[in-house]
Chain A
Amino acid sequence: DVKVTQSSRYLVKRTGEKVFLECVQDMDHENMFWYRQDPGLGLRLIYFSYDVKMKEKGDIPEGYSVSREKKERFSLILESASTNQTSMYLCASSRFGVGTEAFFGQGTRLTVV
C-alpha cells in the first residue's frame, strides 16, 4: 500500500514562529509537491521538487521555503508564520512520467494565532 505521510494532522502556532511541516513517501518517487487547500480556492501549488536538493516555486511561494535533502522527504517551512497562512496543507508525490498519478498525504491543518 503506497504511502505519503505527513508528520502532523493538526498544528497550532503563534504569529512569527518558524514552522516545519514534514512529509515522507515510501514509493521512491522522484516528484514531490506541497499544496495548500482552502475552501472556494481549491488546491494551490506552493513548491515542488523533481529531485534531491532541487526545488521550484509554484504559484504561491511567498512566505514559504522547502527542503529536500533525501529523496523520500520533503519539508515545507514557514519562516515567520502569519494568520493568512492558516490553511490545510497537502503533500503529494508522483513518479516521473506522462499521466502519472499523484499520491496525497492526509493533510496538516495549520492554525496560526
Chain B
Amino acid sequence: AQRVTQPEKLLSVFKGAPVELKCNYSYSGSPELFWYVQYSRQRLQLLLRHISRESIKGFTADLNKGETSFHLKKPFAQEEDSAMYYCALSGRGGGADGLTFGKGTHLIIQP
C-alpha cells in the first residue's frame, strides 16, 4: 500500500528564515511526487512536481529514493508563504488512480 507521511502538523518560522517541510513516502515502484498548497480561502493548487525539477515561488524539492523523501525547501521564508501544504504521491502512470495525500503541514510565517 502506498503512504505519504508529513510528520509536522504545524510549522512556524520567522520571515527570512529557511523553511523545510518534511515528506516521506512508502511505495514499492517508481512514484510521482507532488507538493500542493492551499492558501487561505483559495482552492488547492499544485506547487511543484518532482518530474519537472523546477523551482516555484522559491521552493524546491528533491526526490531522494534512498531515503524515500521529498522534502520541500525554501531558503528565505516570506509572509505570503503561510498556507497549508500537502505532499502527494501518484503510484501508477497516467495518474488515473488519483493521488495519495499526506495529512498536511500548516506553515505559519511570523513577521
Contact = CB atoms under 8 A, between A and B. Distances in A.
A42 B95 contact: no
B32 A102 contact: no
B97 interface: yes
Q: Describe A's contact surface by its main secondary structure.
A: loop
A45 B9 CA distance: 20
Contact of B95 (A40, A59, A102): A102
Contacts of A105: 43
Interface in B35-70: 36, 43-46, 49-52
B86 A100 contact: no
A75 interface: no
Given A95-B95, A99-B49, A105-B43, 10 more contacts: A31-B96, A33-B98, A42-B102, A43-B86, A94-B95, A96-B96, A99-B34, A102-B95, A104-B43, A104-B45
